[in-house]
A and B are shown apart, each in its own frame.
Chain A
Amino acid sequence: MYISTEGIEMQFVLALIIGAFVGGAAGYLGTLMLSKKMGLVAGPLGHLTLPGIAIALMFGFDVSLGAFPMVALGIVLIWLFEIRSKLPMESLTAVVFASGVAITFLFLPEEKTVPALIGDISQISLLAAAIIVVLCTIILVATRRIYPKMIMISISEDLAQAEKVDVRRCNFIYLTCIALTVSLGVRIVGGLMTAALAAIPACTSYNLSKNLSQYSWRGMILGSSACILGIAGFMFTGIPAGLLIILTSASLFLASLAFKR
């Protein structure tokens, strides 16, 4: 298929824009996830997207559209199980994600899921990019609003409730933001590496910051920068962007160890 130079340039610009937004949203939300000791939750949720991505690839629609209902279903199940069982959220995530992956491989041929594992940024429409930018902005605003309350919850749910924080509502918004971020993240880095998209910038930012404000904003900037650099690297080398984004992010983390406060 012939693609004009202009078309490639447009794809490159769109990829950079969505990378900057998705990376920023994931990095910002990731700092909150790390504070709640849930840094790896995005990993299982990324795996949970696999059935949705595989269906999207089979029927030719956007992978994020396939991924979101699966993650949303998983999140709702985790939320309900948490209310019912009082077990830690990360344990319940393991239950739901393992079941989701098992169901995927039970019903869908393995080869359909493979392209979903490391992401694809080569086919982005202007409309999809616009929707992704809007969704990332919503994630950032919602996360910013619940951030202090979630920190209070992470210290103690009882303390937060005593301070009149609506714990269930905050947890629901938080989990919805994670679901959206994971669904958007799988498009860029694939279902295998979404945890890294959220967790690595947060870890790097932790090393470089001395308070919560610095930590959260630096997480966003680091996430965004890693995506921009990774996508730029893909354009020059042809190595999948997902791999380069994660490797860039990991390099930034290693460099941050030298500056750890």
Chain B
Amino acid sequence: MIEEILKVRKLCVELGGEQVIRDLNFEVNKRETVVILGPNGAGKSTLLKALLGLVPYRGEVSWATRDISYLPPQELFQRRDLLLSIEEFFELKKASPDKASEILEQVGLDSSLLDKRFGSLSTGQFQRMIIAWALVNEPSVLLFDEPTSGIDVGGQETIYSLLHKFWEQGNLTILLVTHDLNIVWEHADNVLCLNRKLMCCGPPKQVLTPENLEELYGTGVKYYVHKHRGY
């Protein structure tokens, strides 16, 4: 039976007198991967913040769970100067060293890294570590904001294969903001095309037509339809 985990009705967000999101309606079911797609300034990150109640909004946002994990990787990357060990970073989520070791191993990192400084990890290790951090308390929902922005192709692959692994293992629902159309074809159950208002919504094969993409981005977009799906 399909269970709804999020329902959004008539969502409007206004920031600094400007309407960023207008009259948005959609639902997300449990264990779905929903990719939020749109050009710069379309309101994708603002939508995630509204879903978390971090910005004021009008309308209805109803969650069927409270176990929601939010991960803005870029903000974590920017604070790699912090004098914080990996163990202390996990303590911010009230995760014990044992639990932190266990999940680090699940993402392919050695638990001896717990003593290392937050900023001393390589980019690849850092990505794995923040995913482990986001998932350490076994959330029902993950909200990822541009997880691969500024990361090379190899690094992107790591993030998505890890997400896929955790998605396979548990009852995880994922809402992912990205610019990357390949991710949609590879991983999304549903796609939400956003440009301040909802432009299209549904399974990628149905909604990602050249016409819809041109309307969304305001220009022709070249893409290749992948023959397999990760999720």
Contacts and interface: CB of A to CB of B under 8 A. Distances in A.
Contact of A162 (B54, B83, B92): B54
Contact of B75 (A35, A159, A209, A210): A159
Interface stretch (A61-69, A149-157, A173-181, A248-256): A149-157
Interface residues on A, range: 10 to 19
B79 interface: yes
Interface residues on B, range: 20 to 34
A158 B54 CA distance: 7
Contact of B72 (A151, A159, A210, A213): A159
A6 interface: no
B72 A156 contact: yes
B52 interface: yes
Contact of B117 (A148, A152, A211): A211
A170 interface: no
B88 A155 contact: no
A161 B54 contact: yes
Interface string B54-97: 10000000000000111110011001001111011001110000
Interface in A88-140: none
B83 A215 contact: yes
A77 to B, nearest CB: 22
A109 B94 CA distance: 54
Contact of A156 (B76, B83, B87): B76
Contacts of B82: 35, 151, 154-155, 212
A152 B70 contact: no
B10 interface: no
A213 B88 contact: yes
A210 B114 CA distance: 12
B49 interface: yes
A151 to B, nearest CB: 7
A159 B70 contact: yes
Nearest to A211: B85
Interface string A193-221: 00000000000001001111101000000
Nearest to B91: A148
A17 B117 CA distance: 35
Interface string B26-66: 00000000000000000000000100111000000000000
B221 to A, nearest CB: 30
Nearest to A149: B92
Contacts of A154: 79, 82
B72 A206 contact: no
A151 B85 contact: no
A161 B117 contact: no
Given A35-B83, A162-B68, 5 more contacts: A154-B82, A155-B79, A156-B75, A159-B72, A162-B70
Interface of A: 35, 148, 151-152, 154-156, 158-159, 161-163, 206, 209-213, 215
9 closest residue pairs by CB, A with B? A162-B70, A211-B85, A156-B75, A155-B79, A215-B83, A212-B88, A212-B84, A162-B52, A158-B54
